[in-house]
Every structure is written in structure tokens, then in C-alpha cells.
Structure 1
Amino acid sequence: MKRRSALGAGISFAIGGAFTVRARAAEAADDKPTYERVKLLWGPNHGHEIVVPFEDFKAKAPKRYVTTGKSDHLHVFEVTADDWAKLAAGEPVRLASTKTGGHLHRVRLRAAPAVDPPDEVTVCTVEVGGNDGHELIVPQSHLDAKTDRVYDIQGVAPHTHEVKVTAAQFEKIAKGERLHLTASAGDDHTHLVAISLAKKKA
């Protein structure tokens, strides 16, 4: 009798455990972002454009994109099957175009939801001196928290720098002051970075 009760308890535990695992798996699936577009960030540019249809992301086949836009010459970007896999995994993909006229261009691709989440929307105007495609996003949550933070500002560049903003400096930004900071060294150089609160649109 005792053995049967113990066995029954074991079955109950096993079934309950299975339900728990399934519930956790469902929660994990719900946490995965829903991608609906491919976002592009350009480095220094003079009128080039490319469009990456979301259908290409879903197909995940190697693809060549020829720039269009206002420029009088063309460049080509190539996206590989491995690049699509990285995008699907939530990783950024940085590409360099073919060279034309002695120069090339760089872009960064990201798979993204239809609307950017709040922590990917900056509330500051950021200027990077001698910019070679770096990006720094300061969301409202960072401005509200006012705690020390270190930002990776790689953007489209093949190298990165870090910019530290202290709690006291966030206070200054919130009050409308303009910060002038120096990024860490990377690729044998650094950058001056200016950060100020963006003006609200009327």
C-alpha cells in the first residue's frame, strides 16, 4: 500500500514537472522578440541607399544589394547565409561594401520588431568628432536612473570605443547641459563625444 502511494506520488510529480517544463518553455518562447523588419545603420554616406526586404531575411539565402540613391556611382553589399543566421539570433551584422572611386561604405544590419523598444530609442543628441560610423544611444530609462554607465559605441565601424557617463553627468544632461567627453582608445585613436538632451518636437 505504501509502495503504491509512493508510486502514485512519483507519477503525479512527473506529470506536474512536465507541465512546469512546458510552461517555462512557453514563457521562454514568449520572451523571444518578434522580428518584422531589417534595420540599417549607415556610416558616413553621400546619398547611397539600400533596401533589405524582410522577405530576404525570412528566405535566408545569400544576397547582393546594389546601392541606389542620389550618388553618381554604385557600391555592392553582400549578405551571406551565416549573416542571416546571426540576424535571426539577435546579433548585429556589420558589412563593408565594394570599393568604388577609392572608397567604400559600411552599414550595420539588425533584425527588429515593427516598433523600436524604449531602450533602443535615444533621448539625447550625440555628436562623435571625426566620426567613422560610431553610435551612442541614451534611452529615457538611463536618464531617469542616473547611475554610472559605460557605453560601447561601435556602430558600423570595424572597431569600438567606450564612453563612460557618470551619475553626476546624467544629472547635468537632464538639466540641459552639454557634455564633452573623450572615448577610450581603439584602433590607435580616440574621439571627442558631445552629449546633450534632444529638443522635444513641437
Structure 2
Amino acid sequence: MDRKSFIQKSLAAMFIALPAYAYLSCSSGSDDSGSPSPNPDPTPDPSANCLQNGTNSSIGGNHGHTLTVSKEDVEAGTEKTYNIEGSADHNHTVIITASNFSSLKGNDSITVTSSSDDAHTHSITVSCA
């Protein structure tokens, strides 16, 4: 193989491998610590109360995004769009619907999917604190 062919094949491999690596690293299902994202407990904590304590959010495949849903937002119950960029180098939006807020008011957790940005989405679970 001559030098020109080697360079062409190497560049072609990089153009395939880098986007694939970026996509897989974003959809890995792990949080910033590298451990698997926790699954919501099928039996909610009886002391958890979104209207009194606010919420906790778990973002699957996270790499710096953050979502805070306040107890005031839960109480208002009006559909809201959140930006979850956090310390990531790109943003996603997440829509929490009025129906989702009704579930949170009943102290049930919800799972929503972020917008598709930078060629991926995130599954986000919001539960009562």
C-alpha cells in the first residue's frame, strides 16, 4: 500500500469511527460517575413528596447535563420546557407536560426523553425527593 492510499484509508476510518464513538458515549446509559443509571424504584419512597420537597432527576447517558424541577413548578402544574445544558458542550430541551406534573403531584415518578441534539437524546427520570 502506498502512502496516499494509507492516508485515504486512515482518514476514512476516522470519519466513521469518531461519530460512532461520540454517539455511543452519549447513549451509554451511565451517569458522570461511569456507573449505570439507577432505575426508578418500583415502590416509591413513602416519605417522598414533590410538593413539599421538590424533585430529583436522573439523566441516562449523562455527560454534564442537569435538570432541576422545583416544587413551585410542580405546584403550578403548567407545561414547561427546560434547558438541560449544564456543563455539557451542547444543550437539550425537555418538556414536562401538565399530565407529567399531575403525576409528580401524586408523588409518582415520570420518565421523559430530551430533544435530539448533537445526534442523540437522553432518557430522564424525575422523582419526588
Displacement after TM superposition at 1:45 (Å): 5.7
Letter in 2 for 1:158: D
Distance 1:177 1:140 in 2: 14
Where do 4+ consecutive residues of structure 1 move more than 2 Å? 43-46
Q: Alpha-carbon deviation of 1:123? A: 1.5
Rounded Cα–Cα distance in structure 2 between residues aligned with 1:44 and 1:166? 27
Partner of 2:84: 153
SS at match of 2:81: strand
Of 89, 93, 113, the residue aligned with 1:182 is: 113
Which of the numbers 32, 51, 65 marks the counterpart of 1:44?
Answer: 32
| 3-state SS, counterpart of residue 69 of structure 2 | coil
Q: Partners in 1 of 2:60 and 2:32 — Cα distance?
A: 12
What residue in structure 2 maps to residue 36 of structure 1? Answer: none
Over aligned residue pairs, what C-alpha RMSD do you find?
Answer: 1.8
Partner of 1:191: 122
TM-score when scaled to structure 1?
Answer: 0.38
For 2:33 and 2:101, locate their aligned partners in 1 and report how far apart those are by CA, in whole Å.
31
How many equivalent pairs are there? 81
Q: Report deviation, 1:44.
A: 2.9
Matched residue, 2:75: 144
Unaligned runs of 5+ in 1: 1-42, 47-121
From 95, 102, 110, give the equivalent of 1:171: 102
Aligned residues: percent identity?
33
| Higher normalized contact order (CA 8 Å, seq sep 6+, divided by chain length) | 2
The structure whose residues are more often strand, as a share, is 1
1:1-202 alignment to 2 at 5 Å? 44=32, 123-198=54-129
Equivalent position amino acid for 1:44 in 2 = D
Q: Distance in 2 between matches of 1:147 and 1:168?
A: 9
Which has more radius of gyration?
A: 1
